[in-house]
Amino acid sequence: MTHARLTPLAAALPSTVPFVGPEEMERQRGAPFTARLGANENGFGCSPRAVAAMQAASEEIWKYGDSSSHDLREALAAFWSCRPENIVVGQGIDGLLGDLVRLTVAPGDSIVTSLGGYPTFNYHVAGYGGTIHTVPYRDDHEDLPALIARAAEVDAKLVYFANPDNPMGNYLPGAKVAEALEALPEGTLLILDEAYAELAPEDAATPVAMDDPRVIRMRTFSKGYGMAGARVGYAIAEAPLIAAFDKVRNHFGMNRTAQIGALAALQDQDWLAHIRAEVASARERIGAIAAANGLNALPSATNFVAIDCGRDGAHARALVAAFAEEGIFIRMPGVAPLDRCIRISCGPAAELDRLEAVFPQVLARVATPA
């Protein structure tokens, strides 16, 4: 016997990780990437006012952050016209998903998600012993009515639905989400992951109340606001559910400068408008690069574009590897039939220039292996 005895659940968990980060890939290849277009980071950067606020706050890093993220929650409540009691701030959507799964999923409990949906949600569910039921994408879209129908069949605690979607990039108009919600069973909570919503058209917003007991919305400062490294996300839901997070969350877990930076970023909506324009332009450019190479870019309501490479997962994986050899970090969906695509994040013009320059030779090399 050893001294550290893992629980049976922990002992049975795999050691695989949801994602390998770009720094790890750089160490493996022995050289830095020249284009960082794989993790849907916002290469246009975050608000200069937020940067300045974080720099100023660094002098006081000796202080713990505010355990209730009070100022940020107040500002978010005003922004969303809800109460602070409807909002919990956490360490990115990843952290909040972990807390939510912990609160709701006991071993054997079911959840429903899309086959090919966000792997980190599945990581949390498996980590708490939950059973994952999947529903295929329909025409490259997450199929919300089918997800909800499946939830009724398996008595799901949670249904995960990203709008806009990752990894395919499209969105379901919010009115359709509201319509589908009418069929949501009692006892099932819809996780509406809106990580990319700041970059989506206006009609992506779901017209149900912020405290509707059927839904928990997840939002982040990582994408539109360009603060992925800060780790600030928040959830919006009915007050009793939000209060339950206080039972399990790491109360003093928020980085203090991140709280201050996120508040400044929220207050700089002009910068967000600038980002929206940059992202829209980069999406068009990526679409044009795809077209110039005879490939079809899928419509995107996010800061990335899925490009249909017209063959299978092995082919797309070879492309991702070949781009990496050229110093370009991109990713791709994990399962068929989505994995015929590669996924390229919007980034500054110089990085898209490099993408454009190497695209033909990468395609040619993969088509005709040495």
Residue by residue, DSSP assigns 33-49 as -SEE-SS---TT---HH
Using CB under 8 A, which residues numbered 103 to 122 contact a second copy? 103-106, 109
Shortest Cβ distance from residue 60 to a second copy (Å)?
Answer: 7
Identify which of residues 127 and 136 has a Cβ nearer to a second copy in the complex.
127
Q: Tell me the HSE value of 362 on the side-chain side, using a 13 A CA sphere.
A: 26
Q: Out of 88, 144, 236, 258, point to the residue binding a second copy (CB under 8 A).
A: 258
What is the C-alpha separation between 358 and 54, in angstroms, rounded?
37
Closer CB to a second copy, 22 or 116, in the complex: 22
241 binds a second copy (CB under 8 A): yes
61 scored as a contact of a second copy (CB under 8 A):
yes
d(CA 306, CA 170): 9
Among 197, 237, 324, 346, binds a second copy (CB under 8 A): 237
Of the candidates 150, 221, 226, 220, the residue with the CA atom closest to the CA atom of residue 192: 220
Q: How far is the CB of 363 from a second copy (least distance, A)?
A: 28
Question: In whole angstroms, what is the distance from residue 263 CA to residue 71 CA?
Answer: 8
Q: Which residues contact 57 (CB under 8 A, 6 or more apart)?
A: 256, 257, 260, 261
Nearer residue to a second copy within complex by CB, 1 or 370:
1
Beta-sheet pairing, 158-162 with 328-329: unpaired
> Site residues for a second copy, window 200-219 (CB under 8 A)?
213-214, 216
Q: How far is the CB of 337 from a second copy (least distance, A)?
A: 27
Of 59-67, 76-84, 195-203, 315-323, the segment contacting a second copy by CB under 8 A is 59-67
Is 1 near a second copy (CB under 8 A)?
yes
What character string, x for contact with a second copy (CB under 8 A) and - otherwise, covers 126-165? Answer: -x-----------------------------x--------
Residue with tokens 């919990």: 88
Contact yes or no for 60/365 (Cβ under 8 A): no
Distance CA 189, CA 237 (A): 10
Sole binder of a second copy in the list 32, 183, 250, 321 (CB under 8 A): 250
**How near is the Cβ of 109 to a second copy at its closest, in Å?**
7
